Amino acid sequence: MTDTKFIHSRWGYGVRAVGVRVVGAALGMWFVGASLQAATPETPKLRQQATTLIGPLPDKMPGSEADTPALIGLGKQLFFEKRLSINNSQSCNSCHAVDQRKGGVDNQPTSPGAEGKRGGRNSPTVLNAGLHLAQFWDGRAATLEDQAKGPILNPIEMGMPNPNVVIERLSADKGYQRSFKTAFPGQASPITYDNLAKAIAAFERTLITRDRFDDFLKGSDKALNPSELRGLELFLTSGCTTCHDGPALGANRFQKVGLVNPYSTKDLGRFEVTKEEQDKHFFKVPSLRNIVLTAPYFHDGTQSTLEEAVRQMGWLQLGRKFTEDEVKDLVAFLGSLSDKPRAAKAK
């Protein structure tokens, strides 16, 4: 056991903890002393460790039990609806693109809003977002429904003045009149802002991805190549899973950026929500699923490549400079976390 204030993380931003068991000890430190380049991964043991600390994505998203085809279909239509922005120029998909096999982001450092103004943070992926402990980098939205309501009314993003204007636009469309009535049977006036958010959230709960890493966890010895296996081995034994654990490989805690070596940012992160001093520069740790598809990286979008993000995290969070071979293998492993259809398109 350790009673240090912080447990180091390489990918995320360092989680505050008291009395947390060191992950390396839990793994038995079977990797210690082995040469990463020369070692042959012990595949069954590696799979067992990865399954215990991470595990595959679920077949269905939590909370989707009551989502009907009509509700999901309406949510998809609303997700791509540009009339939800002040000048009919942007939809949810503009910043969180899921069409054309994209990674649920716009691949820009920060996103332009309906009137060209840019937000201060990188747009996080919407893929698998229903598994996150909260939404947005600072966790200010507890649910997908809460998150769906925010950007539409944000003056920098979609810029609608109030919910009533949104409802007026949708109510004027006979197609939406029928779709809302079907999705919310029994309601006299189903076109409401709450129902809009419920529908979008239902669609987003369908955005579960399927990747080769989960194929490996489920028993396929051929799913990962030797470099990817070495990267997984290093990922499991160097502290990454202290922060990037669970099926999403992250997104289940808030962590500090610049734990060992400082990171220059004026963004106070979680502090802006809680106003608690200890939350300054803490952010929701990003999920690593589909990370290859979601460049650029960090909350401020300053890291243009995954290789540089890996190097930076090693230094900022562990005070460690990874070798080029280690970076190569770690990036190779991270590539196995890409949704297979989207990964095929990316090639």
Task: Render each residue's pLDDT in the chain as its tens digit; 347 residues.
Answer: 333 333 333 333 443 333 333 344 334 333 333 333 333 458 999 999 999 999 999 999 999 999 999 999 999 999 999 999 999 999 999 999 999 999 999 999 999 999 999 999 999 999 999 999 999 999 999 999 999 999 999 999 999 999 999 999 999 999 999 999 999 999 999 999 999 999 999 999 999 999 999 999 999 999 999 999 999 999 999 888 988 999 999 999 999 999 889 999 999 999 999 999 999 999 999 999 999 999 999 999 999 999 999 999 999 988 889 999 999 999 999 999 999 999 986 65
Q: Is 333 in the same domain as 297?
A: yes
- Among the options 81, 145, 157, 233, which is catalytic? 157
Here the tokens at position 252 are 């289940």
What pLDDT is recorded for position 345?
A: 67
Q: Is 36 in the same domain as 113?
A: no
Q: Is 100 in the same domain as 153?
A: yes
What pLDDT is recorded for position 205?
A: 98
Does 96 fall in a domain? yes
CB 323 within 8 A of CB 308: no
User: Any idea what the CATH number is for the domain that residue 37 is in?
Assistant: 1.10.760.10
Q: Is 94 in the same domain as 193?
A: yes
Q: How many domains are there within the chain?
A: 2
Q: Is 196 in the same domain as 234?
A: no
Here the tokens at position 93 are 């998909």
Distance from C-alpha of 231 to C-alpha of 293, rounded to nearest angstrom:
18
CB 185 within 8 A of CB 178: no
Q: Is the dihedral of CA 240, 299, 313, 9 positive or negative?
A: negative
Distance from C-alpha of 223 to C-alpha of 239, rounded to nearest angstrom:
24
Q: Is 22 in the same domain as 118?
A: no
Asked about 157 being catalytic, the answer comes back as yes
Domain boundary among 143, 174, 204: 204
Q: Which of 248, 237, 188, 243 is nearest to 213 (CA)?
A: 248
Q: Is the dihedral of CA 239, 242, 243, 248 positive or negative?
A: positive
Q: Is 99 in the same domain as 217?
A: no
Q: Which of 252, 130, 110, 134 is nearest to 200 (CA)?
A: 130
Q: Is 215 in the same domain as 335?
A: yes
Q: Is 166 in the same domain as 236?
A: no
Q: Is 251 left (phi over 0), alpha (psi -120 to 50) or beta?
A: left
Q: Is 86 in the same domain as 195?
A: yes
Does 250 fall in a domain? no
Q: Is 75 in the same domain as 194?
A: yes
Q: What phi and psi values does residue 13 have, to the nearest 5 degrees?
A: -120, 25
Q: Is 75 in the same domain as 190?
A: yes
Distance from C-alpha of 292 to C-alpha of 15, rounded to nearest angstrom:
24
Does 150 fall in a domain? yes
Q: Which domain holds residue 15?
A: 6-46+209-244+288-346
Distance from C-alpha of 43 to C-alpha of 39, rounded to nearest angstrom:
12
Here the tokens at position 319 are 């005070």
> Which residue has 């430190």 as its token pair?
29
> Which residue has 């802006």 as its token pair?
272
- What pTM, to 2 d.p., does this model score? 0.87
